[in-house]
Amino acid sequence: MTALRFLTAGESHGKGLSVVIEGVPAGLPLSEEYIAVDLRRRQGGYGRSKRQEIEQDRAELTGGVRHGLTLGGPIAMFIRNRDWENWQDVMQPEPAEREVNKVTRLRPGHADLPGTMKYGFDDVRNVLERASARETAARVAAGAVCRRFLEEFGIEVHSHTVSIGDVQAQADAEPGWAAVEESSVRCADPQAGERMVRAIDAAREAGDTLGGVFEVRAGGVPIGLGSHVHWDRKLDGRLAQAVMSIHAVKGVEIGGGFALTAAPGSEAHDVILPPERWDGRPWRRATNRAGGLEGGMTNGEPVVVRGALKPISTLSKPLPSVDLRTAEEVRAHYERSDVCTVPAAGVIGEAMVCIVLAEAMLEKFGGDSLDETKRNYEAYVRTIGPRAGSAADGE
């Protein structure tokens, strides 16, 4: 059994995006239509650009699946860019027969300046095409494969919008996920959702952009994924890195996060309940301030991760900047862009959490086939419970 890993390739206005995911066990039911559901969800959300009306993302399975079941080898997918036909001269892989206009107006907050300096480019397009959040469509496709795997073990992953700009949704212990998916901003609080829409409209009118916070919740996760023994095996650290890697995310919280710093210890931790209050699952807690993770491991409670998304750096009323070639003061480059992507970022956050949790499940339970992984998982679950006789043995 190889470790779960994935790679993406492709540019925003190139032919398309390629995805290869390795380590998925054989025998997992998987279809293009299943993956398409999450790709459609990523394209939704109030505040998106006209690009989403052009693209109708669908991942074509080109390897690793036969007759609806995974084969145990690498799974390959390709997502075509419909906008490619309008960009062929600019983005063709072959040498250009005529000079193409170069992008030299740097955008504050984007990868433009550090990317051109790092790679020695004189055209910002060489950076912005790969740095574009278009790449996240490939991540969502990979995440959908991992979601399909997690479902086999009763693990469900959802997300919702916590805030957009200065509009905050009312806290809810367990949002209604159907209501979230019906909301144009993926917010469980309908009143806050309406205010979020108005805030996005105002930002669009002003030529500005808005950020916010999304939350991902994973239920049904077993105790013991991850490990306390090495820094790079701590699951909360791996989840934080995965969510932080999403474009424009500048902060990540697990559970109570930063708010716990203002609470005394007596109000910051989750009381372990006695067996009569376990409600059919072992080792229940009175609260979930830890976000389902203690000591770098899952503790059986829902995993809760939040991502803080800065406002998008491409503004229709561009900020002052400097030209890469002349060093003259100019207005930053503008290319068709979203006003707010927080609703879509939640879907991308789900994908990244699914990938990390699937990786952790396979690390613990292994298996070259889905049946083997399930047998290992079920054998482990039978061992979870109080350690009878420990006190008598003097432990």
**What is the rounded average pLDDT of the residues 321-345?**
90
User: pLDDT class for 97, splitting at 50, 70, 90?
Assistant: confident
**What is d(CA 153, CA 155) in angstroms, rounded to the nearest whole number?**
6
**pLDDT at 39 exceeding the cut of 60:** yes
How many other β-carbons are positioned within 10 Å of the β-carbon of residue 209?
A: 25
Q: Is residue 270 part of a domain?
A: yes
* pLDDT computed for residue 392 by the predictor: 38
Q: Is residue 145 part of a domain?
A: yes
Q: Is residue 308 part of a domain?
A: yes
* pLDDT computed for residue 17 by the predictor: 97
For 392, what's the count of Cα atoms within 13 Å in the CB-facing half-sphere? 3
- Of 43-52, 168-177, 308-317, the range with the highest mean pLDDT is 308-317
Query: Can you give the CATH number for the domain in which 30 is found?
Result: 3.60.150.10
* C-alpha separations of 261 from 35, 106, 253, 264, 390 in Å: 39, 38, 12, 8, 35
User: pLDDT class for 51, splitting at 50, 70, 90?
Assistant: low
* pLDDT computed for residue 394 by the predictor: 41
Q: What is the bridge-based pairing of β-strands 212-219 and 156-164?
A: antiparallel
DSSP 3-state assignment of 183? coil
Instruction: Look at the chain and count its residues.
Output: 395
Residue bearing the bigger pLDDT, 223 or 83? 223
Beta strands in the chain (DSSP E): 5-9, 16-22, 59-63, 65-66, 69-70, 75-80, 156-164, 167-168, 212-219, 249-254, 293-294, 297-298, 303-309, 320-322, 329-331
What pTM does this model have?
0.94
* C-alpha separations of 289 from 199, 255, 256, 319 in Å: 30, 5, 5, 40
* Alpha-carbon torsion angle 342, 348, 352, 358, nearest 10: 130
Which is nearest to 111 in space by CA: 87, 95, 130? 130
Residue bearing the bigger pLDDT, 259 or 2? 259
**pLDDT at 340 exceeding the cut of 90:** yes
pLDDT in tens, 188-220: 999 999 999 999 999 999 999 999 999 999 999
**What is d(CA 212, CA 343) in angstroms, rounded to the nearest whole number?**
9
Supply 173's token pair: 């212990």
> What is the domain range of residue 23?
5-381
**What is d(CA 138, CA 134) in angstroms, rounded to the nearest whole number?**
8
* pLDDT computed for residue 2 by the predictor: 64
Q: Is residue 170 part of a domain?
A: yes
* pLDDT computed for residue 393 by the predictor: 42
Residue bearing the bigger pLDDT, 297 or 99? 297
pLDDT in tens, 369-391: 999 999 999 999 999 888 654 44
How many other β-carbons are positioned within 10 Å of the β-carbon of residue 266?
A: 7
Supply 145's token pair: 């494969």
Residue with tokens 């500048």: 250
Q: Is residue 390 part of a domain?
A: no
- Of 47-51, 82-86, 209-213, the range with the highest mean pLDDT is 209-213
**What is the rounded average pLDDT of the residues 294-317?**
94
Q: Is residue 387 part of a domain?
A: no
Residue 226 in contact with residue 364, Cβ under 8 Å? no
**pLDDT at 49 exceeding the cut of 70:** no
User: pLDDT class for 140, splitting at 50, 70, 90?
Assistant: very high
* pLDDT computed for residue 315 by the predictor: 86
* pLDDT computed for residue 52 by the predictor: 57
User: pLDDT class for 334, splitting at 50, 70, 90?
Assistant: confident
**What is the rounded average pLDDT of the residues 351-379?**
97
DSSP 3-state assignment of 124? coil
Report the chain's mean pLDDT, rounded to a whole number. Answer: 92
User: pLDDT class for 42, splitting at 50, 70, 90?
Assistant: very high
Least reliable range by pLDDT among 115-124, 248-257, 263-272, 311-320: 311-320
User: pLDDT class for 53, splitting at 50, 70, 90?
Assistant: low
- The count of structural domains within the chain is 1
Q: Is residue 11 part of a domain?
A: yes
Residue with tokens 């998925």: 24
Residues 6+ apart with CB under 8 A from 75: 20, 21, 22, 24, 30, 61, 63, 64, 65, 145
Say which amino acid occupies 289.
R
**What is d(CA 350, CA 219) in angstroms, rounded to the nearest whole number?**
12
Q: Is residue 215 part of a domain?
A: yes
**What is d(CA 230, CA 8) in angstroms, rounded to the nearest whole number?**
28
**pLDDT at 152 exceeding the cut of 90:** yes
